[in-house]
Structure formats: structure tokens, C-alpha cells
Amino acid sequence: MMLTLLIMLIIVIPAPVMLRHMLSGRNAYRGVLEGSLSAMTGVAALFLLYWIMTGETFFDTLNSALSRISVEDMNMNAYTLMGAKPLGADEMQLMLDNMKETTKLAIPGLLIIFCMIIAYVNYAVLSWALAKRGKRVSSLPPFRSFSLPKNSVIGSLVIYLLAYLTVDMGIIDQKLIMFNLEMLFTFVFSVQGLAVVFYFGYRKRIPKLVVAVIAGIFYLTWFGQTFLFFLGLVDVVFDIRKRFSQTNLKI
């Protein structure tokens, strides 16, 4: 029930914010950002309401649910089918404990990422539907032209510094804040890297499906995601797509 309500909030709440934005003709990505922030605010309000009604936080409930999972509940068939060596009881318990810890740490960052993705898809669908009805709207540009602000690198460093000071003061758990910051920054700069991949795929006239498959392979592997992260970081700093367009270099 809670999960269903959470998903509905993330989908529904940003819609009026983005509708007002796209009909005014302002920057589409700004509309996605405002939609994402409104969804995050809705999620925070839901968690607050849950705490008021039940007397415990959503994360306390999550911890309680995770603590009830035991090694006996784990289905190791898929793990065995991959040809992996069967694990002993102690190894399975360690793997389960690590999974629980990672899940607890990742939830805040995953919710933020989910809000951003849903807002982007929401904006694209709503603007397309309104354009089909003859409305003049601010539509999203092709993904290959997506770019973070120039000051996003400096902003990231400032956020890291503030997070470090917050951790040092004992306000927030170090593992929680650092894990989520790393996950969020990796996601954001990897998206910029994906935009660069789609840009060069477009310039070299590679079929979109092929580019999408390549991008998927990059994003779903550790090495590929690391490459996308650094590619996105370099693009933010040096604007390699703009330089390529200006000089028309052959690669």
C-alpha cells in the first residue's frame, strides 16, 4: 500500500507544476527540475504523515522488514544456475547482511533518482500529448543535447564540502550521506556521458537502436558506468560536443 501510494505521488504531483511550466514556454529542463523537486517534496510529506500516523519513520519500518529476512528466505537457485560455487552458511549470512546494509543506505538516493527519471518521462509524455492537440508548449530537446550547467562541477564540490562538515559535526551518518552523494553524482554525470554517446551516434549516423544498446551496455557495467561518468565530467568542463560541432573534427 505504501509503495503504491509512493509511486502515485511521484507520478501525479509533478504534473501540474510541469504543465504550468511547459505552457509558459520556459526552459523544458527547468520544468523537469521543478517537477522532480515537487515529487521529492511530496515523498517527504508522505514520510512525515506516516510518522505522525504510526509513530515510527518509514526507514524504521524498512529496517524492521529487512531484519525479518533470514538466510533461509534467500533463493539461491539463480546464483547456482550461473555456475557460481555454492556458498556456505557463513558466506550467505555475510552476503545477506551486506545486501541489507546497502539497501538501507541506497533508499534515499534511489528515491531522488526515481523522482528525476519519472519527471523527465512525465514531461516528455505531457508535452507530446499537448503538442498533438495543437498547444504551443516548451518541449524537451533531443536527449543528445542534454547538458548540465557549467557550474555543476563546482556545485558538486560545494555539496561534498558541506556534507563533510555535516558528517564531521555528527548531524548525519557518514556512510548514509557519502553513499548517496556518490550514487547521485555518478548518476547525474553518467547521464551527461550518455548524452555525449547519443550525440556522436547521431553525428556518425549510427542507428538509434544500436546506440541505445551500446549505451545500455555501458550503463549496466561497472567499467562502462565509470567511463560514462568521466565522459560526462569532461563534457561539462570542456564542452566537447560544442568543440566538435565548431571544428567538425572527424573521429
Q: What is the pLDDT of residue 24?
A: 85
Contact 144, 70 (CB under 8 A): no
List of long-range contacts for 175-178, beta carbons under 8 Å, 24+ apart: 175/105, 176/105, 176/108
Amino acid 74: pLDDT:
61
pTM of the model: 0.81
Task: Name which residue leads in pLDDT, 70 or 212.
Answer: 212
Mean pLDDT of 145-161: 76
Residue 78 has pLDDT above 60, yes or no: no
Name which of 17, 16, 31, 247 is nearest 139 in CA terms: 31
CA distance readout (Å), 213 to 87, 105, 223, 233, 235: 33, 30, 16, 22, 21
pLDDT value at residue 72: 62
Q: Cell 519500518 maps to which residue?
A: 61
One-letter amino acid at 125 equals V
Q: From CA 51, how far away is CA 46, in angstroms rounded?
A: 9
Q: How confident is the model at residue 11 (pLDDT cuts 50, 70, 90)?
A: confident
- Does the structure show a pLDDT above 60 at 153? yes
Which one is predicted more confidently, 122 or 172?
Answer: 122
Place of cell 541489507: 100
Domain boundaries along the sequence of the chain: 1-140, 141-251
Supply the mean pLDDT for the chain.
Answer: 82
Of the candidates 187, 18, 208, the residue with the CA atom closest to the CA atom of residue 119: 18
pLDDT of residue 23: 86
Mean pLDDT of 166-185: 75
| pLDDT value of position 232 | 92
- CA atoms within a 13 Å half-sphere pointing along the CA-CB vector of 223: 1
Distance of CA 216 to the CA centre of its chain: 15
- Cα dihedral: 207, 208, 214, 217 (round 10): -150
Q: How does pLDDT run across 32-54, given as a tens digit for each residue? A: 888 888 988 888 888 888 888 88
Contacts of residue 19, defined as CB under 8 A and 6 or more positions apart, other chains included, come to: 126, 130
The single residue listed with the C-alpha cell 554525470 is 189
- Most distant CA pair in the chain: distance in Å? 63
Distance CA 30, CA 12 (A): 18
**Quick one: pLDDT at residue 251?**
44
The answer for residues whose C-beta is within 8 angstroms of residue 251's C-beta and 6 or more apart is 200, 204, 244
CB atoms within 10 A of CB 195: 22
Count Cβ atoms below 10 Å from residue 123 Cβ, excluding itself: 28
Among 92-106, 134-148, 168-182, the minimum mean pLDDT is found in 168-182
**Predicted confidence (pLDDT) at residue 6 exceeds the cutoff of 60:** yes
